[in-house]
Amino acid sequence: MGDIQEDMGHAVKVYKALGEPTRLKIALLLTRESNLCFTAIGEKLESVAGSTLSHHLKQLTDSGLIDSRKSGSFIHYNVNREIAEKFAPYLLA
């Protein structure tokens, strides 16, 4: 078990990641439909520049809430259910 401070720091990162409309959409999107890649996510969002999307995905992955898996020239994203369950099971509902 990690200590409380560390856990709080983690919680802040996760909640900060979810506290922005585009990122919350991405997180919800990925709980409904798994294994989407960068471009597929971008298409579902409409009107978000690639650089912006990359920025958001970085924050989501840095928080641990979503995992990325490289496959060829694609990167597939998935919600980390364990982290979601711990901090925001709302996503999985």
Partner DNA sequence: CCATCATTTCTACAGATATAGAACTGTAGA
Partner DNA sequence: TCTACAGTTCTATATCTGTAGAAATGATGG
Chain positions contacting DNA, by CB under 7 A:
16, 20, 22, 37-40, 47-59, 68, 72-76
Give burial (CB, 10 Å; 0-12/13-18/19+) of 68.
middle
Q: With CB cut-offs between 5 and 8 Å by kind, which of a copy of itself, DNA, none does residue 39 bind?
A: DNA
d(CA 82, CA 44): 25
**Shortest reach from residue 24's CB to a copy of itself, in Å:** 6
Binding site for a copy of itself (CB under 8 A): 8-9, 11-21, 24-25, 28, 86-90
